[in-house]
Homo-oligomer: A and B are copies of this chain.
């Protein structure tokens, strides 16, 4: 770990502002599709690929890729979910011995630590949303473009999990460390899987594992994530959606002047929905046992009209 720390220490910024601008231009696909350009990389998910992904189901086992909603405020949970019991069996509701229990759930889900999906309107960069639309499309009434409604019928396809700590032989990547394109290549080889067009690419950094094993820390300022150069990999492979156990970005950023380069490149330049703060601790043993790192992936965002994303509990079906 020392060498890596030293390496990071040696280059707090490894992507200059102009390099980032070039990278942005290189991967931008705003003009790629004539029909429904607003759905972006979801175009890569064709009906054929969904049907093929369903064909990956062998054992009939399902497993969550989401975290329990965390209702306790903490240094790594600054905006806890609200969960209140709203009806208990203590009240005679005039229905004889019949009683109901109810609860309220609410969450400002884009915040640190909540498993969620980012709609394309979640990121505005230089005044524009994905596709070049003005960011004024998002108002206090909700998003009039790039809203989560694009995924009202679910995000379904082949999920491919690349486990970076596994291929590096560590328990987790340390905060500030990056996943580089070479890590993804190495993981593909080690796992015998290849990321292809339309895939939902899931990258494990071990962030969730580190959180469960160590004392809480300020994850908003220190976490492992994808290096911006991964955007090229993602573009070349025609990835449809991207998820991680962190928020996909490394903190702190090593890109000059851009705090969340992966968010900008994936969402804003490429129209790729991001899945943040997933956990792969439950699916990893199943993958290891089956020696297969691909599965049918289903995420079903809540139908939030004008929403900028949704809390989600994605399911892997193996």
Contact = CB atoms under 8 A, between A and B. Distances in A.
B102 A104 contact: no
A50 B127 contact: no
B82 A85 contact: no
Nearest to A75: B75
Report how many copies the assembly holds: 4
Contact of A72 (B78, B104, B115): B78
A287 to B, nearest CB: 15
B102 A108 contact: yes
A313 B301 contact: yes
Contacts of A87: 110, 140-141
A140 B77 contact: no
A182 interface: no
Contacts of A121: 101
Nearest to A81: B304
Contact of A101 (B67, B122, B126, B257): B122
Contacts of A72: 78
A190 to B, nearest CB: 27
Interface residues of A, number: 105
A12 interface: no
A260 interface: yes
Nearest to A118: B100
Contact of A89 (B51, B55, B86, B124): B124
Interface string A200-213: 00000000000000
A125 B282 CA distance: 35
A251 interface: no
A167 interface: no
A86 to B, nearest CB: 5
Interface string A66-104: 111101111101111011111111110001111111111
B298 A300 contact: yes
Contacts of A43: none
11 contacts: A47-B60, A64-B154, A79-B80, A85-B308, A89-B135, A99-B135, A101-B124, A102-B108, A105-B107, A154-B315, A298-B298
Interface of A: 46-52, 54-55, 57-64, 66-69, 71-75, 77-80, 82-91, 95-111, 115, 121-127, 135-136, 138-143, 149, 152-154, 156, 257-260, 263-264, 282, 296, 298-315, 317
